[in-house]
């Protein structure tokens, strides 16, 4: 029996098969495009270059069925001739490390199916950025199986997509580090300038008083000796405060600074600040009130106490000798509000934000007290922001100023039963 098909039928079958192949190819391309879009979203959400590379590792393993390891640059190079430092993700042999170096230098895929170093047992795919290879993925297939061309092409696209994402992330980290170093250097320069300027006057006063006590003690009355000694104590206290604020400002401005936070009682923090201020003659003007039943505060108690101490010192300095100063702590919505309020002359509107800038000094106080060094309020705002809070100045309705520190409240963890 003759089973030969008519020529028209053969042509129809051929066209049908060709259409099916085209449909399959189109479906495969659409799937690859969806895969790239989804992978791009994963790369954007990854918190670090290493996390981006780990996402690529998982995606390549799922897509190709191969075992995948990677080597990734730790940072963008500053010297193009330097040997790059690499982070390894997965297990790499000495042979694979040599292949990675070769792939980095050549900036091309190599291994089975690439047309380059076909005899290699492993497939090396570069993570190519704009002008730089950011890393290399090493694929080891079971039984020496070669990837089909369409699969190899998609794996290379995934690696290129990851390369661009890693490069952008490393560029942002480099730019951030550059800004932080520049800010730290500018702060250090400003601190050195302030120290050289603001330390001279109290040191000169201390030296003059101490010299008088040493060389003319027998010619001075008791009252004169007491006055000189009191001047030394006041200037030493001023230097100690300036030193504490300057050191804290340098610490808070340092990259990677970590707070020493714990669960703290608002009453104890306020009591610590009051003990310091009560040692001063004008400390009796300060009145404190803490709202009963406040939850514990998650904070660095030493820094928050220093913030309150600076604000109280500022209020005492810029208000009349008989004017009260209030230190209040109460709940304000989701925050704890720590406020210091005075009845001084207030601050001009144009200067209300500038008072928080480093080395912006106010005029002398109403009793002729010396203007500050311009560090205390800058330290206070830095402390507030380090706690994810805020410090704002608010003019009071009948004269005076309120400085209000808002500290976010957190849920206190339940105590475990012993």
Regarding whether 263 and 346 lie in a shared domain, the answer is: yes
User: Which among 238, 257, 276 is the end of a domain?
Assistant: 257
pLDDT single digits (tens) 284-343: 899 999 999 999 999 988 889 889 988 998 899 888 888 999 999 999 999 999 999 998
CA dist 99 and 122 (Å) reads 9
Regarding whether 324 and 274 lie in a shared domain, the answer is: yes
CA dist 163 and 391 (Å) reads 42
pLDDT at 134: 93
CATH number at 138 reads: 3.30.450.40
pTM over 0.75: no
Regarding whether 170 and 25 lie in a shared domain, the answer is: yes
pLDDT at 13: 60
Regarding whether 378 and 303 lie in a shared domain, the answer is: yes
Regarding whether 294 and 219 lie in a shared domain, the answer is: no
In a domain, 230, yes or no: yes
pLDDT single digits (tens) 201-219: 778 888 888 998 888 888 8
**What confidence category does residue 197 fall into, taking pLDDT thresholds of 50, 70 and 90?**
low
The CA–CA distances, whole Å, from 55 to 59, 152, 166, 391 equal 6, 18, 11, 41
User: Which among 233, 257, 281 is the end of a domain?
Assistant: 257
Q: Quote the number of domains for the chain.
A: 3
In a domain, 67, yes or no: yes
User: Cβ–Cβ contacts within 10 Å for residue 178, how many?
Assistant: 10
pLDDT single digits (tens) 38-86: 888 888 888 899 999 999 999 999 999 999 999 999 988 888 778 889 9
What one-character-per-residue DSSP string does 164-187 give?
HHHHHHHHHHHHHHHHHHHHHHHH
In a domain, 28, yes or no: yes
pLDDT at 54: 93
Closest CA to 319 of 404, 242, 401: 401
pLDDT single digits (tens) 5-27: 566 655 666 666 666 666 666 65
Mean pLDDT of 264-273: 92
Task: Compute the half-sphere exposure of residue 87: CA atoms within 13 Å on the CB side of its CA.
Answer: 15
């Amino acid at each position: 029996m003759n089973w030969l098909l008519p020529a028209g039928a053969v042509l129809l079958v051929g066209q049908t098969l060709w259409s099916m192949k085209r449909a399959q190819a189109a479906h495969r391309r659409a799937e690859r495009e969806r895969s790239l879009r989804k992978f791009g979203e994963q790369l954007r959400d990854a918190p670090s270059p290493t996390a981006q590379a780990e996402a690529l590792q998982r995606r390549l393993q799922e897509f190709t069925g191969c075992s995948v390891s990677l080597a990734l640059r730790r940072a963008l190079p500053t010297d193009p001739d330097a040997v790059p430092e690499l982070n390894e993700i997965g297990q790499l042999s000495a042979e694979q490390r040599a292949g990675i170096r070769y792939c980095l230098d050549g900036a091309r895929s190599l291994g089975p199916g690439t047309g380059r170093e076909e005899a290699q047992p492993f497939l090396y795919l570069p993570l190519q950025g704009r002008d730089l290879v950011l890393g290399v993925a090493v694929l080891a297939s079971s039984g020496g199986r070669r990837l089909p061309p369409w699969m190899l092409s998609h794996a290379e696209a995934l690696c290129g997509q990851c390369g661009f994402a890693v490069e952008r992330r490393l560029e942002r980290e480099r730019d951030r580090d550059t800004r932080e170093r520049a800010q730290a250097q500018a702060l250090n320069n400003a601190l050195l300038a302030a120290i050289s300027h603001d330390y001279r006057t109290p040191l000169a006063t201390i030296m003059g008083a101490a010299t008088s006590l040493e060389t003319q003690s027998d010619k001075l009355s008791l009252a004169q000796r007491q006055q000189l000694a009191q001047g030394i104590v006041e200037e030493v206290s001023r230097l100690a405060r300036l030193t504490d604020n300057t050191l804290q400002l340098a610490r808070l401005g340092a990259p990677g600074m970590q707070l020493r936070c714990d669960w703290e009682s608002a009453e104890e923090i306020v009591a610590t600040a009051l003990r310091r201020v009560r040692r001063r003659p004008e400390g009796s003007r300060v009145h404190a009130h803490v709202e009963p039943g406040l939850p514990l505060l998650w904070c660095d108690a030493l820094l928050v106490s220093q913030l309150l101490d600076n604000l109280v010192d500022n209020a005492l300095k810029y208000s009349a000798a008989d004017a009260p100063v209030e230190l209040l702590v109460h709940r304000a919505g989701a925050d704890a509000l720590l406020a210091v309020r005075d009845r001084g002359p207030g601050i001009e509107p144009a200067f209300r934000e500038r008072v928080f800038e480093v080395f912006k000094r106010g005029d002398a106080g109403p009793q002729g007290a010396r203007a500050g060094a311009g560090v205390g309020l800058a330290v206070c705002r830095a402390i507030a922001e380090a706690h994810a809070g805020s410090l704002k100045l608010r003019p009071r309705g009948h004269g005076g100023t309120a400085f209000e520190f808002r500290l976010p409240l957190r849920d206190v963890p339940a105590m475990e039963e012993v």
